[in-house]
């Protein structure tokens, strides 16, 4: 899945709902509760260190053993015992009140009864904690050891639910699904039935699977070869989105059974599951569109299923529709048959073996263009009025598909591949096998309004999703802890394919800037390893972040350079061939690489230090003559000394690269594996300078100690001795080291003094990014005078470059992107008459009633300037409503959100949340833009606070969108008052909200901002 494109460049920053007793639940005492169905051995185990009482309103999330609060379990057991005794409490008040109002002494009988009750309560608590491990089965209690595990929860009907874990049991596996759906785009509901063929791995009386928000009306089970479908009892446990099919007899090992379930539900009004979309057709008439988004956990809300990635199966899908609409699914259409007047049913061919999150279907009025490639029919679909914008996507897909088939040495395995533009879509795109869904801005290309950046975005997203057809679809991560295997690989291949197939669209600085921002996130104590244990839905959602995508891709890039491209490619081929149509873990990838290195290098040992450690290393380089001393430590901002994680145990195996003054060409790159805390390199001769991490191909920061002065002098005298990526890398590293306190801020400012001679995009954009961060912090802190001086410094360094920009679309891709960045920045901050020129162009466009063609690369700058006036803003909003170009509308949104009119900003955010004029998919984009301005940054935070419940209902807790909304709305804060406010707000919400990793990151970031201001405010006064 591709995150929302504009969010990709912005780092996400960080859940367990407070359960309140609506009623006091009874404890389920397995020793006394009559069993409805026999329980298998090893199912009910008691273990004091991980005791977990799961009843209605309690224990909403599974925890690891070492996270359990067994003290609270004891309290709950005591509380529940008292609940059981409520009848006694009502009938036997210990103190009886006499008519005169005084209390009589309790009778001897009362005292005895109370004593017995108390003794039983204490005994029960002690017995549960002191009993040896006990498994209750038909035969009674089996002693195993002196620990205690789970007590089963209660189903919605009050009966015992026979499973207590979030993960499904492994005793039943699905083989095949027959799914029949009847969506109704008038009532906005759907009915469905599913037949699931399952295989029994271990004898059982139950089948546990997922279901969420479905109204199940009937469930039956049929044995293999049996003709009689037997009705079965089914139990529901919504807390874990699970249902239990209780078999009337034992399900035998090795046998197949068919479970048949009938159900109904509403089409979702979120972006998850089987959801509805409203849009206007070419006649401005409201139409409805139904589509799916199942990754990570939403297939269960469209049909009951085994909704975990490792449970792969085949799927036969049938969908009823209005004969005027069309349906699409993963596989080609097999047949269409009439059902009733005006209604037909489409049947699709049986799918390949795949995970539930990759199942997809669309019901809508769509048009397409197609082309055949190597036996597969490639089609691009859109609503009718957008059909003239799909040709570029089709041509791009054909080229990329051919490249991937040659690179992986595995043909795309399906007979068709559909790419569909969805009018309202949360992510950038979703890689469903054979039916890839896209946000319209990432698939539709309009030659008159799409900029160079738009074209590159479309190409990159298609490259990402096509890579998933192998990485993710053909070979799937076994569980969400290894999501990076899907997303890191797809991101890596996206940029690699762009470089190979579309060199005119590839610019290395894109990935470089993403890595810089991922490292900002990864430098916080609230970061996480690329491969992290996850259980709850919120934890799984939060894995879709910059670390899984960008850090994962960066580590693969580093490995590719270290192994060489041929060895790396051979390792990928082995991995895909060894695990196709199956599931894999990180170690499987390293084992495949080791098959190729054949003992010359232990890739697993090397890469485990990167995958299982959070953060990244700081390598300090000290040069004395020919001797280079190296030392590694963890790069970490210490914001709360009592909470930060010790880095003593952190040791990375770092594939260092370096160039020197004696030979600084690419072919002169030297390599050294630093696998100790410190080491020494002896050069063959003394050199004037040395630069590590060539082209930033490694995921680490370098501190040059005394050599920073040498590198600063080199940039002043001959900056082209280093590549543009190396220059950007030095700028990034020294500002990060200044933030850490390892180098003074004045040295960072000294390094960028050479920039008036700079012409390359990568170093210019990195310097602008770093200075803009400082400007924003000062501005929001109320240090207006100092902020103005920072802006003067930016103008001094970049003013000439801004003045040289032409308001056209000519030049190379890199030149065009730099023009767009510089002019948008200059117009926002009124540098070098930019705003005057842009406003003149906007007024001409407005006088032409929007018919005049504007240069697409500078359109955003023009709209930003034009929307400053009330008249311009209203006109832009009107044009937004009528525009058919999604690329143009995206730039209009940024212009509208850049106004300083507070009422307009509030209206814009509120309207986007409601999705009336502006689609809700744009909301995080709007909040990001609003939060950057001085009038808007507090408004954005207030909006998030006031609409938190609506936001999390629409976008789901932990989702990439929520991560970005939290990050953008808080990242400008730099005062203790704001820190307290953010902390208090999230603490007042559910435990799930307060425990979000992005909330913790937001708090870390505010603390860092405060720390940075305290450390550097006085220095800035002197410097500027």
Integer Cα distance of 539 and 755 in angstroms? 43
Q: pLDDT by residue (tens digit) across 887-934?
A: 999 999 999 999 999 999 999 999 999 998 999 999 999 999 999 999
Q: pLDDT grade, residue 9 (50/70/90)?
A: very low
Identify the DSSP state of 354. Answer: B
Integer Cα distance of 641 and 645 in angstroms? 9
Identify the DSSP state of 156. Answer: T
Q: pLDDT by residue (tens digit) across 648-660?
A: 678 999 999 999 9
Which backbone phi and psi does 245 adopt, to 5 degrees? -90, 115
Distances from the Cα of 456 to the Cα of 453, 460, 462, 486, 894, angstroms? 5, 6, 10, 22, 19
SS3 category, 627:
strand
In this predicted structure, what is the pLDDT of residue 790? 95
Kindly give, in sequence order, each residue whose CB lies less than 8 Å from that of residue 617, ignoring residues fewer than 6 positions away: 632, 633, 634, 635, 650, 652, 654, 700, 701
In this predicted structure, what is the pLDDT of residue 35? 39
Integer Cα distance of 621 and 495 in angstroms? 30
Residue 123 has pLDDT above 70, yes or no: no
SS3 category, 899:
coil
Q: Which of 307, 308, 152 is nearest to 214 (CA)?
A: 307
Instruction: Return the percent helix, strand and coil in the chain, to nearest 5.
Output: 45, 20, 35
Residue 643 has pLDDT above 60, yes or no: no
Q: Which residue has the higher pLDDT, 203 or 137?
A: 203
Please list, residue by residue across 246-266, b when 16 or more beta carbons sit within 10 angstroms of its beta carbon and e when fewer do. bbeeebeeeeebbbbbbbebe
Kind of pairing between the strands at 52-53 and 150-151: parallel
Q: Give me the residues paired with residue 329 across strands.
A: 361
Residue 664 has pLDDT above 80, yes or no: no
In this predicted structure, what is the pLDDT of residue 968? 96
Identify the DSSP state of 931. Answer: T
Q: Which of 54, 436, 52 is nearest to 238 (CA)?
A: 54
In this predicted structure, what is the pLDDT of residue 509? 85
Integer Cα distance of 13 and 182 in angstroms? 40
DSSP 971-1007: TT--SHHHHHHHHHHHHTS-HHHHT-HHHHHHHHHHH
Identify the DSSP state of 506. Answer: -
SS3 category, 601:
coil
Q: How far apart are the first and last CA of the chain?
A: 45
Q: pLDDT grade, residue 150 (50/70/90)?
A: low
Kindly give, in sequence order, each residue whose CB lies less than 8 Å from that of residue 647, ignoring residues fewer than 6 positions away: 615, 633, 634, 636
Distances from the Cα of 404 to the Cα of 464, 477, 487, 573, angstroms? 11, 20, 16, 11
In this predicted structure, what is the pLDDT of residue 159? 95
Let me know if 285 is exposed, middle or buried by CB neighbors in 10 A (0-12, 13-18, 19+).
Answer: exposed
Q: pLDDT by residue (tens digit) across 376-420?
A: 999 999 999 999 999 999 999 999 999 999 999 999 999 999 999
Q: What proportion of the chain, given as a percentage, has pLDDT over 90?
A: 77
302 in Cβ contact with 292 (< 8 Å): yes
Residue 142 has pLDDT above 80, yes or no: no
Q: pLDDT grade, residue 965 (50/70/90)?
A: very high
Kindly give, in sequence order, each residue whose CB lies less than 8 Å from that of residue 38, ignoring residues fewer than 6 positions away: 137, 138, 205
Integer Cα distance of 842 and 65 in angstroms? 62
Integer Cα distance of 473 and 373 in angstroms? 20
Q: What is the mean pLDDT of residues 746-761?
A: 95
Phi/psi class of residue 705: alpha, beta or left (left: φ > 0; alpha: ψ in -120 to 50)?
left
Distances from the Cα of 942 to the Cα of 220, 630, 932, 988, angstroms? 51, 48, 14, 15
Q: pLDDT grade, residue 1 (50/70/90)?
A: confident
Which pairs from 641-644 meet CB under 8 Å and 24+ separation? 643/525, 644/525
Which backbone phi and psi does 321 adopt, to 5 degrees? -155, 165
328 in Cβ contact with 402 (< 8 Å): no
Q: Count CB atoms within 10 A of the CB of residue 764.
A: 24
Q: Give me the residues paired with residue 672 across strands.
A: 656
Q: pLDDT grade, residue 119 (50/70/90)?
A: low
In this predicted structure, what is the pLDDT of residue 971? 94
Question: For the chain, give me the number of helices (H) and strands (E)?
Answer: 32, 33
3 in Cβ contact with 544 (< 8 Å): yes
Kindly give, in sequence order, each residue whose CB lies less than 8 Å from that of residue 805, ignoring residues fewer than 6 positions away: 819, 822, 823
In this predicted structure, what is the pLDDT of residue 3? 77
Integer Cα distance of 341 and 832 in angstroms? 67
In this predicted structure, what is the pLDDT of residue 916? 84
Q: pLDDT by residue (tens digit) across 565-578?
A: 999 999 999 999 99
Q: Which residue has the higher pLDDT, 666 or 887?
A: 887
Q: Which positions are annotated as active-site residues? A: 465
Q: pLDDT by residue (tens digit) across 465-488?
A: 999 999 999 999 999 999 999 999
In this predicted structure, what is the pLDDT of residue 25? 34
Integer Cα distance of 887 and 313 in angstroms? 39
């Amino acid at each position: 899945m591709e995150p929302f494109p504009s969010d990709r460049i912005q780092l996400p920053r960080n859940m367990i709902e407070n359960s309140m007793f609506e009623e006091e639940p009874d404890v389920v005492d397995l020793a006394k509760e009559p069993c409805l169905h026999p329980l298998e051995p090893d199912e009910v185990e008691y273990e004091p260190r991980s005791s977990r009482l799961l009843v209605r309103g309690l224990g909403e999330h599974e925890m690891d053993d070492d996270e359990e609060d067994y003290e609270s379990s004891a309290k709950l057991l005591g509380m529940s015992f008292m609940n059981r005794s409520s009848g006694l409490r009502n009938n036997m008040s210990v103190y009886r009140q006499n008519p005169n109002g005084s209390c009589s002494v309790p009778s001897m009988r009362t005292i005895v009864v109370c004593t017995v009750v108390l003794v039983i309560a204490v005994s029960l608590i002690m017995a549960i904690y002191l009993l040896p491990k006990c498994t209750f089965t038909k035969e009674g209690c089996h002693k195993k050891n002196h620990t205690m595990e789970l007590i089963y929860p209660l189903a919605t009907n009050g009966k015992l639910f026979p499973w207590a874990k979030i993960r499904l049991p492994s005793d039943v596996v699905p083989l095949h699904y027959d799914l029949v759906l009847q969506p109704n785009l008038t009532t906005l509901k759907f009915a469905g039935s599913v037949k699931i063929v399952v295989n029994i791995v271990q004898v059982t009386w139950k089948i546990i699977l997922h279901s969420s928000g479905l109204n199940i009306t009937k469930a039956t089970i049929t044995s293999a070869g049996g003709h009689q479908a037997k009705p079965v009892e089914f139990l529901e446990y919504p807390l874990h989105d699970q249902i239990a099919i209780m078999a009337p007899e034992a399900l035998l090992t090795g046998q197949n059974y068919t479970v048949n379930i009938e159900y109904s539900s509403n089409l979702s009004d979120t972006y998850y599951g089987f959801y509805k979309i409203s849009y206007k057709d070419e006649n401005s008439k409201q139409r409805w569109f139904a589509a799916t988004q199942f990754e990570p956990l939403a297939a269960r809300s469209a049909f009951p299923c085994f909704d975990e990635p490792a449970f792969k199966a085949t799927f036969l899908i049938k969908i009823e529709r209005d004969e005027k609409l069309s349906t699409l699914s993963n596989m080609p259409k097999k047949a269409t048959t009439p059902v009733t007047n005006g209604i037909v049913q489409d049947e699709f061919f049986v799918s390949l073996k795949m995970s539930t999150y990759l199942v997809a279907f669309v019901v809508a009025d769509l048009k397409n263009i197609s082309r055949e490639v190597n036996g597969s029919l490639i089609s691009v679909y859109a609503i009718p009025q957008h059909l003239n914008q799909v040709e570029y996507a089709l041509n791009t897909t054909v080229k990329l598909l051919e490249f991937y088939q040659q690179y992986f040495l595995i043909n795309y395995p399906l007979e068709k591949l559909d790419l569909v533009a969805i009018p309202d879509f949360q992510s950038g795109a979703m890689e469903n096998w054979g039916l890839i869904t896209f946000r319209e801005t990432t698939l539709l290309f309009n030659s008159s309004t799409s900029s160079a950046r738009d074209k590159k975005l479309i190409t990159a997203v298609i490259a990402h999703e096509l890579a998933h057809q192998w990485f993710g679809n053909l070979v799937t991560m076994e569980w969400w802890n290894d999501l990076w295997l899907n997303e890191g690989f797809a991101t890596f291949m996206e940029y690699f394919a762009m470089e190979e197939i579309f060199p005119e669209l590839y610019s290395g600085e894109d990935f470089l800037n993403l890595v810089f921002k991922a490292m900002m996130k990864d430098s916080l104590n609230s970061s996480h390893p690329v491969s992290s244990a996850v259980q709850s839905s919120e934890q799984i959602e939060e894995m879709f972040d910059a670390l899984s995508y960008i850090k994962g891709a960066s580590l693969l890039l580093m490995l590719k350079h270290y192994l060489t491209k041929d060895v790396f490619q051979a390792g990928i081929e082995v991995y895909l061939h060894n695990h196709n149509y199956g599931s894999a873990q990180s170690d499987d990838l390293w084992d495949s690489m080791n098959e190729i290195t054949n003992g010359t290098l232990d890739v697993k040992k090397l890469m485990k230090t990167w995958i299982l450690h959070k953060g990244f290393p700081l390598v300090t380089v000290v040069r004395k003559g020919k001797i280079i001393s190296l030392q590694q430590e963890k790069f970490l901002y210490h914001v709360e000394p009592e909470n930060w994680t010790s880095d003593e145990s952190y040791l990375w195996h770092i594939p260092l690269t370096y160039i020197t003054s004696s030979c600084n060409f690419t072919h002169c790159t030297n390599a050294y594996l630093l696998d100790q805390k410190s080491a020494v390199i002896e050069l063959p001769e003394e050199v004037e300078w040395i630069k590590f991490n060539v082209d930033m191909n490694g995921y680490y920061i370098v501190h040059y100690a005394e050599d920073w002065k040498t590198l600063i002098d080199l940039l002043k005298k001959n900056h082209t001795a280093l590549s543009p990526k190396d220059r950007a890398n030095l700028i990034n590293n020294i500002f990060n080291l200044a933030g850490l306190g390892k180098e003074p801020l004045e040295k960072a400012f000294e390094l960028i003094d050479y920039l008036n001679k700079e012409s390359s995009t990568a170093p210019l954009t990195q310097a602008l990014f770093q200075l803009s961060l400082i400007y924003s912090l000062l501005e929001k802190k109320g240090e207006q005078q100092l902020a103005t001086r920072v802006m003067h410094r930016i103008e001094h360094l970049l003013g000439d470059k801004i003045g040289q920009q032409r308001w056209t679309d000519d030049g190379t891709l890199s030149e065009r992107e730099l023009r767009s960045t510089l002019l948008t920045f200059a117009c926002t901050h009124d540098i070098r008459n930019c705003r005057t020129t842009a406003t003149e162009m906007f007024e001409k466009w407005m006088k032409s009633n929007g018919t005049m063609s504007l240069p697409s690369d500078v359109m955003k700058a023009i709209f930003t300037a034009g929307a400053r006036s009330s008249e311009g803003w209203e006109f832009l909003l009107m044009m937004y409503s009528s525009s058919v170009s999604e690329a143009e509308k995206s730039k209009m949104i940024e212009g509208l959100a850049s106004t300083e009119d507070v009422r307009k900003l509030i209206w814009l955010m509120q309207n986007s949340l409601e999705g009336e004029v502006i689609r809700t998919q744009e909301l995080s984009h709007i909040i990001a833009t609003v939060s950057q301005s001085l009038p808007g940054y507090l408004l954005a935070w207030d909006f998030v606070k006031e609409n938190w419940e609506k936001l999390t209902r629409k976008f789901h807790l932990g989702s990439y969108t929520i991560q970005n909304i939290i990050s953008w709305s808080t990242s400008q804060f730099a005062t203790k008052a704001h820190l307290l406010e953010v902390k208090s707000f999230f603490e007042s919400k559910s435990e799930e909200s307060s425990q979000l990793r992005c909330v913790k990151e937001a708090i870390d970031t505010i603390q860092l901002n405060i720390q940075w201001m305290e450390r550097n405010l006085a220095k800035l006064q002197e410097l500027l």
